[in-house]
Chains A and B, each alone.
Chain A
Amino acid sequence: MADVVHPIHGEVHRHPAPTSFIRKYIFSTDHKVIGTQYWFLALFSVFVGMGLSLLMRLQLGWPGQEWGFLKTLFPTAAENGTISGEFYLSLLTMHGTVMVFFVLTTAPQGGFGNYFLPIQIGAADMAFPVLNMMSFWITFMALVVLMSAFFADSIAHFLNDYFFDVAAAGNVIGPIGGWTGYAPLSALGERAGPGQGMGVILWVTSIALFCIASLLGALNFITTMLNMRAKGMSLMRLPLTCWAWFTTAVLALLSFPVLLAAGILLILDHTADTSFFIPGGEYVNGKLVTEHAGGSPIMWQHLFWFFGHPEVYIAILPGMGLTSHILSTFARKPVFGYRAMVYAIFAIGLLGFFVWGHHMFISGMSPYSAIAFSLVTLTIGVPSAIKTFNWLGTLWGGQIRFTTPMLFAIGFVSLFVSGGITGLFLGQTSIDIPLHDTYFVVGHFHLIMGVAAIFGMFAGTYFWFPKMFGKMMNEGLGKLHFLLTFIGVNAIFIPMHIMGMAGQTRRYASHWNPATGEGLHYLSNMVPLTRFVSIAAFVTIAAQLIFLVNLVWSWIKGKKATENPWEATSLEWTIPSPPPHDNFAGIEPEVHRGPYEYSVPGASKDFLMQTDAEGPVIEHGH
């Protein structure tokens, strides 16, 4: 084990740890508790989101089939044991919203970022601990509001039947506009069909709350990283995880306010008869709409995707940082091209703001701007390719230790390639014409921002669990979990590209019903592929129970973790597992070298910690 030397840099002011249960575990201002809270929130959400996809895959694989248990569970939404159109769309909307906001945006940044950014830079806490606590609790409220959107209709029915009269509605369970909530469908209210009333209002409110929370969080991350680094922790000595969290925070700071504004305008269109997104002369569901005129439906898309595209990078950048970090740790080799990696993160973050239009090639916006967006979109592939090359370069010549976090990091690289490279098709205006809004897109974004990002989270969980909870996770179960999940996600999402080429449309509750011959004839030969994907999804979802079991079992019965079980170099491995309330016991650490000094020639062991004052210092030019 590492001989950790804490160079006494000087006593700093220490806050005593809180003693009451509420201040310690609920309304805590300790970044580690808050990070863990975010992590649990994401864990809860990811299982909710997965449960929703289970129901969707059941419907897609066997459209029209009557399932007795569905009838029992959802007597109105699945009246005959078959998921209704609006129920399907409500599952889809909730799946997307829960996954994008409360999993992909929450765990990598709010969870791991909160917990480890201050420790990795050598700080005692975040810059604004109270603000940090507020960020979490606003996120928590946003999740509660979103869940209530799912049950808005049931609640309305309940109130209707038992108490007083509220707007009666159909048998839908929640908002049905997809996670993108395109206007005017999302702006017209109940007259545009079931699920467009209270469900949508609660859905937008949840997103608006989430925006506020993310904004506060982003300010905190940026300030913390710029101002609170320990002595010797120069910018180019920061672990790549910190650079990823920092860039993610900058993206969040600049993109969430736009979504917040859009959300507020949408709520006003709903409740105050404004017309930001509703044009004049609408004729909806048999009635002329007279109270709206002059709005622009495409404006919603511009605002949404101005946020939505950076959001993709908000989800994936922390995973990229973590992958670099873990690959280096377990290959026992410095990150290949550290500076190139930092610049590539910046480049992706910057270019990410100029490509939102590639979601809108066929929306009716100017075809000239489509060309501009297409060109920028393909250039964003360049920094992404640089990252891939450098990951391979990091592995090349290494002495790889195949721990579970390492396996998930390797899986991340593979999925990042698979999911990213299909962007070359979709980013081209002409090829996007047939592929837009088909399963090709579904396969593409699930691989890259869905499962690649989730592999990042798994890698982070297996890597940092010992530090967070003081126990080692079971390696055997971890490896089994990796194998089944990696095979599973490829089996689910790669065939989707072929379906999309055949023209299989997104967001359809049913494409072709082989029993009744209803649906789109040209998709009748897709039935076996669709069923295969559904079965692969069931197996993959079941495999996640292994993870859950491992988590609970390890927490209770796991082997006790030492200070530095992975023989890693960054600052979190210089303090006890789990760390004390103020991280470094009031002593500011002093940093003497970069974060990836593995296999340094002449050193007594194969890694030098950032705090190691002794040992060879190798000057390397870039």
Chain B
Amino acid sequence: MGKLTGALMFVVAIGSVLLFIGQPLLFGSRLWWFPEGISQHAAAIDAQFLRTLVVVGISFTAAQFALGYAVIRFGRKGSERAVYTHGSNKLEVTWTMITAAVFVILAILGQRVWANLHLNAAPPDSTHIEVVAQQFQWNFHYAGPDGAFGRTESKFIDDSALNFIGLDPNDSNGKDDAQTTSMVIPKDRPVELTLKSKDVIHSFFVPALRFKQDTVPGLAIKVHFTATKEGKYEIPCAELCGNLHHNMRSTLVVIPADEYDRLVSMPAEKFKEQLGELMARYQF
């Protein structure tokens, strides 16, 4: 039983290693992994993930193998007595220091990307878009040709009249604003989002962007990132928001910046029409 149990630990270790880094070996290619990163910070997150994967992979494999080995090696032999020891302070101090050092270094390294994303303000040339979540729908608010957002307030919200974001009809800044349910952003230019929610907590998640942020009713959360690859991507809701949570998703297209500039200078109706065409142009 000892040999079998020890062997199981080896199997767990080898199986996990194969699943995480041996997929090309198993299937000829990597079937299951992160989607290709399409943002400036994606590479940094992926690098930190890999760095952590190395530390975790080594510790995990070493621990499972040590456990498996101990279980096989130290099975009962007749009436022999076990080694009588209550431990070793030297060993305790050594492994505590080593683990502490590795973990703390990892933790500090992990903050760099975070700091760039969340502690620094968006660059001044950023494109601004407001995101308004509601039960089972994403709404996007574009400022229109004048570049100024119209005022929004919940008392003006009227879902049945398609004023999902509560645009104030009396505010002249809002006359040319566009409300859409799919999203377009420029490539290679920083985008600043203001994330809001009308009802409950949702979460704006684009796996390819390596980006996720909750939208919280009562808060306007500002975030920024830069997309670096043209294409069409999905925006699932990542925070449980009600019975149809799994159906809450939208589509993001990333297009060249000059084309984006032409697009947003169009009147709202034309903008939406063009957006529809863009959705058809790209494939997932």
Q: Please say whether chains A and B are actual partners in one complex.
A: yes
Could you say which of B35, B87, B221 contacts A622, with CB atoms under 8 Å apart? B87
Which A residues between 254 and 311 are near B, CB-CB below 8 angstroms? 279-286, 288, 295-298
Against B, the Cβ 8 Å flags (1 = close, 0 = not) of A555-581 are 000000000000000000000000000
A281-B154 CB under 8 A given contacts A382-B100, A385-B99, A490-B12: yes
B9 at the interface (CB under 8 A from A): yes
Which A residues between 343 and 402 are near B, CB-CB below 8 angstroms? 362-364, 367-368, 370-371, 374-375, 377-379, 381-382, 385-386, 388-390, 392-393, 395-402
CB neighbours of A402 from chain B (8 A): 1-2, 5, 75-76
A620, B81: Cβ atoms closer than 8 Å = no
A223 CA to B96 CA, complexed, in Å? 32
B86 at the interface (CB under 8 A from A): yes
Could you say which of B81, B157, B207, B217 contacts A502, with CB atoms under 8 Å apart? B207
* Nearest neighbor of B114 in chain A, beta-carbon distance: A429
Against B, the Cβ 8 Å flags (1 = close, 0 = not) of A207-220 are 00000000000000
* Chain B nearest Cβ from A391, distance in angstroms: 8
Q: How large is the interface on B (under 10, 10 to 19, 20 to 34, 35 or more residues)?
A: 35 or more
B118, A520: Cβ atoms closer than 8 Å = no
Against B, the Cβ 8 Å flags (1 = close, 0 = not) of A180-214 are 00101100100011111000000000000000000
A490 CA to B115 CA, complexed, in Å? 35
A334-B84 CB under 8 A given contacts A424-B106, A483-B4, A509-B246: yes
B273 at the interface (CB under 8 A from A): no
CB neighbours of B249 from chain A (8 A): 520
Give the segment of A3-11, A17-25, A124-132, A433-441 that binds chain B.
A433-441
B218, A281: Cβ atoms closer than 8 Å = yes
* Nearest neighbor of B84 in chain A, beta-carbon distance: A599
B207, A494: Cβ atoms closer than 8 Å = no
Could you say which of A85, A188, A600 contacts B200, with CB atoms under 8 Å apart? A188
* Chain B nearest Cβ from A384, distance in angstroms: 9
B218, A296: Cβ atoms closer than 8 Å = yes
Give the segment of A107-115, A157-165, A411-419, A538-546 that binds chain B.
A411-419
* Nearest neighbor of B81 in chain A, beta-carbon distance: A599
CB neighbours of A286 from chain B (8 A): 159-160
A379-B103 CB under 8 A given contacts A338-B87, A414-B12: yes
A397, B49: Cβ atoms closer than 8 Å = no
| Interface-central residue, B64, B74, B240, by most chain A CB under 10 Å | B240
A525, B32: Cβ atoms closer than 8 Å = yes
B113 at the interface (CB under 8 A from A): yes
* Chain B nearest Cβ from A276, distance in angstroms: 13
CB neighbours of B237 from chain A (8 A): 505
* Chain A nearest Cβ from B217, distance in angstroms: 5
A331 CA to B208 CA, complexed, in Å? 49
A185 CA to B239 CA, complexed, in Å? 11
A371-B87 CB under 8 A given contacts A379-B104, A385-B95, A433-B45: no
Against A, the Cβ 8 Å flags (1 = close, 0 = not) of B34-69 are 110000000011001100110110011001101100
Give the segment of A42-50, A171-179, A237-245, A455-463 that binds chain B.
A171-179
A431-B200 CB under 8 A given contacts A172-B243, A414-B67: no
Could you say which of A281, A429, A601 contacts B84, with CB atoms under 8 Å apart? A601
A429, B110: Cβ atoms closer than 8 Å = yes
A503, B35: Cβ atoms closer than 8 Å = yes
B103, A502: Cβ atoms closer than 8 Å = no
B52, A428: Cβ atoms closer than 8 Å = yes
Which B residues between 111 and 131 are near A, CB-CB below 8 angstroms? 111-115, 117-119
A430 at the interface (CB under 8 A from B): yes
CB neighbours of A425 from chain B (8 A): 49, 52-53, 56
A522 CA to B89 CA, complexed, in Å? 51
B86, A362: Cβ atoms closer than 8 Å = no
Chain A interface (Cβ < 8 Å from any Cβ of B): 84-86, 89, 170, 172, 176-178, 182, 184-185, 188, 192-196, 279-286, 288, 295-298, 331-340, 362-364, 367-368, 370-371, 374-375, 377-379, 381-382, 385-386, 388-390, 392-393, 395-402, 407, 410, 413-414, 417-418, 421-422, 424-425, 427-431, 433-434, 436-438, 479, 483, 486-487, 490, 494-495, 497-499, 501-503, 505-511, 519-522, 525-526, 529, 598-601, 606, 618, 620, 622
Pairs A-B, 4 closest by C-beta atoms: A279-B218, A503-B207, A428-B110, A397-B83
Task: Beyond the given A192-B135, A298-B216, please list 12 additional residue pairs across the A-B interface where CB-CB is below 8 A.
Answer: A333-B85, A367-B118, A375-B108, A395-B71, A399-B80, A400-B75, A410-B71, A428-B110, A430-B44, A498-B33, A502-B207, A506-B238
20 residue pairs bridging A and B, Cβ less than 8 Å apart: A85-B243, A176-B243, A184-B201, A193-B242, A297-B218, A337-B87, A362-B213, A367-B118, A382-B100, A392-B70, A395-B74, A398-B70, A398-B74, A401-B76, A410-B71, A414-B12, A424-B52, A433-B114, A437-B203, A606-B81
